[in-house]
């Protein structure tokens, strides 16, 4: 059991995170997110969350980590790379976001987080804490920015100088006292490629109107997709990576080394004809443990028809 200085304890936690396979580990003080409160309230009041009603709940918990973990002192931010070593072919094909190539990241990363927290408790000191990976009211990008992981870019995503934006963000909120890091500068400069390249004009500087975003339409929206965005999907049927593909910082993206994030062989053999004839049995085989299951078979069929400018099929 380590009973040394806060600085030493913090470095030990960071070393453990590296050994667990995380690409970055930074610390923030667990305190109310004062600067984020007003922008979040304005974003919600403007209806930019679309039909994502869950975004409207737990407002205070999104801003105050001590409401999630009573007595919390530290927010440990962790990044995990998902940039694929091999791209699914794009020619004559529909596209899914790179984060969904392999197994559902919630399951993969949460398992690693729990193991890391257990090791911290065993070797650093008894600590109350909870792990989070995009499944609770946690403002992950704000905490990542505060920890020095990167800066929030004009496309609202976390950008890193060393590897771009293809990272999952995860947190451990704990009552363990650790030494906080500080934020880094914004390196977007005058670049507006993400804004200029968004087919649905969902991006304004440092903010995304989710109700106009292709990812929202293809994943979150359970109703029919509005006709006014017909022909603007550029063949995306689950998520969208356009604002990441055009970002200059992603020229530094490095392939991940996570076997669970490798796409199944069948995905590399898909083309538009195969997507359009996809039946439910084939869908289940392709996406058995995938985040794509969030859209469900009928939702993915809807997206394929919409992206391909076809009338919805009748069952």
Contact 275, 218 (CB under 8 A): no
Distance of CA 81 to the CA centre of its chain: 11
pLDDT at 56: 75
- DSSP H stretches of helix in 175-219: 193-197, 214-215
Directed axis angle between helix 6-19 and helix 105-123, to 10°?
140
pLDDT at 76: 98
| pTM of the shown model | 0.94
d(CA 106, CA 112): 10
- DSSP H stretches of helix in 20-169: 34-45, 59-63, 105-123, 140-146
Contact 216, 132 (CB under 8 A): no
d(CA 271, CA 40): 40
pLDDT at 292: 96
Catalogue the long-range contacts made by 86-92 (C-beta closer than 8 Å, 24 or more residues apart). 86/262, 86/263, 86/268, 88/263, 88/267, 88/268, 88/270, 89/268, 89/271, 90/235, 92/271, 92/272
pLDDT at 136: 84
Mean pLDDT in order along the chain per 10 residues (315 residues): 80 97 98 92 86 77 94 98 97 98 97 97 91 91 97 98 96 97 97 98 96 96 95 98 98 97 96 97 94 96 92 52
Catalytically active residues are: 134
């Amino acid at each position: 059991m380590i009973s040394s200085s806060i600085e030493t304890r913090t470095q030990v936690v960071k070393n453990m995170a590296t050994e667990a396979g995380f690409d970055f580990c930074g610390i923030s003080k667990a305190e109310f997110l004062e600067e984020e409160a007003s922008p979040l309230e304005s974003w919600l009041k403007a209806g930019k969350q679309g039909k994502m009603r869950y975004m409207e709940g737990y407002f205070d918990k999104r801003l105050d980590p001590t409401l999630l973990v009573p007595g919390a002192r530290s927010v440990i931010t962790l990044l995990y790379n998902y940039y694929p070593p091999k791209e699914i072919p794009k020619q004559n094909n529909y596209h899914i976001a790179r984060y969904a190539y392999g197994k559902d990241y919630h399951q993969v990363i949460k398992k690693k987080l729990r193991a890391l927290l257990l090791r911290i408790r065993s070797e650093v000191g008894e600590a109350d804490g909870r792990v989070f990976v995009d499944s609770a009211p946690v403002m992950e990008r704000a905490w990542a920015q505060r920890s020095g992981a990167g800066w929030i870019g004009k496309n609202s995503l976390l950008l890193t100088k060393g590897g771009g934006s293809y990272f999952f963000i995860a947190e451990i909120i704990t009552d363990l006292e650790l030494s906080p890091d500080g934020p880094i500068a914004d390196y977007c400069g005058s670049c507006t490629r993400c804004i200029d390249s968004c087919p649905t004009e969902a991006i304004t500087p440092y903010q995304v109107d989710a109700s106009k975003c292709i990812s929202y339409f293809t994943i979150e929206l359970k109703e029919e997709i509005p006709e006014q965005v017909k022909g603007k999907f550029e063949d995306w049927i689950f998520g969208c990576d356009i604002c990441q593909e055009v970002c200059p910082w992603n020229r530094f993206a490095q392939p991940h080394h996570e076997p669970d994030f490798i796409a199944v062989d069948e995905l590399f053999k898909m083309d538009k004809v195969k997507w359009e004839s996809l039946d439910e049995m084939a869908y289940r085989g392709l996406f058995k443990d995938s985040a794509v299951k969030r859209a469900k078979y009928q939702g993915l069929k809807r997206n394929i028809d919409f992206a391909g400018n076809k009338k919805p099929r009748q069952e």
